[in-house]
């Protein structure tokens, strides 16, 4: 894994998205990756509870803008999440810790579906699909869900609170601009991959992208 959590191993990341029927992009050769994974560096990643202001600040800190934010958020079209990453939206939105303390921005039927899977704030084991129905495929369904107020995380819903990101979500929720979105995603991944590069004797140039040299 790369030393900087904002900069995933570019070849490995690209291969992962390709396997999920996602976009392809050219990865420059010769970049340096870290040789160790440091858990507390994930603290630099935007937490799923972030509002739009926090998200833009964290992205701006690594030279990523609002377009990168909404584009890269669509990576949530793949994978699953534990209940604890979003269960406060179901049971503890304002700190009252009861079943009626819900996030009013969540679409009601989707909220009830989530509650049927995540029984309480104490559920630390259950996994929920981030993009129900196509969580193994990279597509534009994420935008359809967010536009219907069915984004799983606070950070997903936050995209609807800004005019620019809301317009991007609504455009790609139509599913009519897949190639455009894929091109945007590839461009943002390249941009993120160029953040905080390792230089000099830092890290190593890997012989095989997915593993360290030793």
Kind of pairing between the strands at 80-82 and 127-129: antiparallel
Q: Is 99 labelled as part of a ligand binding site? A: no
Q: Is 76 labelled as part of a ligand binding site? A: yes
Q: Is 143 exposed, middle or buried (0-12, 13-18, 19+ CB in 10 A)?
A: buried
**Integer Cα distance of 31 and 203 in angstroms:** 9
- Cβ atoms within 10 Å of 11's Cβ, excluding its own: 18
Task: Dump strand ranges (E) for 102-203.
Answer: 127-129
Q: Is 46 labelled as part of a ligand binding site? A: yes
Q: Is 154 labelled as part of a ligand binding site? A: no
Helix 178-193 and helix 66-73, axial crossing angle in degrees, nearest 10: 110
**Integer Cα distance of 122 and 103 in angstroms:** 18
Which pair of tokens denotes residue 156? 């997903």
Q: Is 131 labelled as part of a ligand binding site? A: yes
Q: What is the 3-state secondary structure (H, E, C) of 65-96?
A: CHHHHHHHHHHHHCCEEEHHHCCHHHHCCCCC
- Could you list the residues known to form a binding site for substrate, using ranges: 46
- Could you list the residues known to form a binding site for Ca(2+), using ranges: 77, 131, 139
- Could you list the residues known to form a binding site for heme b, using ranges: 76
- Could you list the residues known to form a binding site, using ranges: 46, 76-77, 131, 139
């Amino acid at each position: 894994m790369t030393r900087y959590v904002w900069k995933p191993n570019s070849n490995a990341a690209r291969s992962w998205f390709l396997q999920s029927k996602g976009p392809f992009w050219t990865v420059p050769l010769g970049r340096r990756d870290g040789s160790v994974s440091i858990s507390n560096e994930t603290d630099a990643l935007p937490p799923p509870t972030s509002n739009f202001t926090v998200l833009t600040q964290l992205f701006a800190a690594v030279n990523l803008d609002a377009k990168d934010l909404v584009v890269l958020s669509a990576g949530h079209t793949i994978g699953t999440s534990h209940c604890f990453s979003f269960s406060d939206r179901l049971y503890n939105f304002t700190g009252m810790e009861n079943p009626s303390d819900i996030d009013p921005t969540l679409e009601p039927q989707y909220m009830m579906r989530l509650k049927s899977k995540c029984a309480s704030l104490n559920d630390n084991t259950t996994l929920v699909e981030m993009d129900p129905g196509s969580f193994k495929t990279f597509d534009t369904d994420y935008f359809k869900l967010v536009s219907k107020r069915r984004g799983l995380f606070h950070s997903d819903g936050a995209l609807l609170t800004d005019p620019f990101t809301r317009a991007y979500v609504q455009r790609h929720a139509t599913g009519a601009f897949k190639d455009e979105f894929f091109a945007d995603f590839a461009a943002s991944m390249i941009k993120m991959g160029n953040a905080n590069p390792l230089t000099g004797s830092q890290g190593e140039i890997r012989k095989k992208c997915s593993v360290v040299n030793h």
